[in-house]
Amino acid sequence: MLGLDNITWEELKIYGITPEKCASVGYKTSQEAPKTQATVNKENTLRAEIATMLAEVFTDPKERSNQLEMLSSFEGKDGSMISGLRSPKELSNKRLFIVHKKVKDWHTETVAGWDKK
């Protein structure tokens, strides 16, 4: 209970105050809300696009994994480096959308460099 320290529900029950009669404050948890089918489809499409862009540049799967790991690493809020992921299947949520943009930008720049040669 907010603002009332060391008072139990049993003590308040004497005065007719029960949890059911009181308003409550809910907080977000680490659990995600269930994803809609549209969201799942969008995420799968982004993963497929990432895999395709990497495959267009690298024929070796290990090189594709290394490039994705580099592009998906980032600096955390505390300044430490967060390791990248080696497979598009491992990407989800906000990180998936951010990495998709990074891979797309990298791919566009790489392919544009081929056109200049």
User: Which residues is 2 bridged to in the sheet?
Assistant: none
Share of the chain above pLDDT 70, in %: 88
Give 25 or 96, the one with higher predicted confidence: 96
| pLDDT over 70 (residue 1) | no
Q: CA 39 to CA 28: how far, in whole Å?
A: 20
The DSSP string of 19-44 is: GGGS-------SSPPPPPHHHHHHHH
Which pLDDT tens digit goes with each residue over 21-45?
887 777 666 666 678 899 999 999 9
Q: How confident is the model at residue 46 (pLDDT cuts 50, 70, 90)?
A: very high
Q: Is 50 exposed, middle or buried (0-12, 13-18, 19+ CB in 10 A)?
A: buried
Residue 31: the pLDDT is 67
Contact 50, 88 (CB under 8 A): yes
Q: How is the chain split into domains, by residue range? A: 32-116
- Nearest Cα to 70, choosing from 89, 57, 83? 83
- For 90, which DSSP code? G
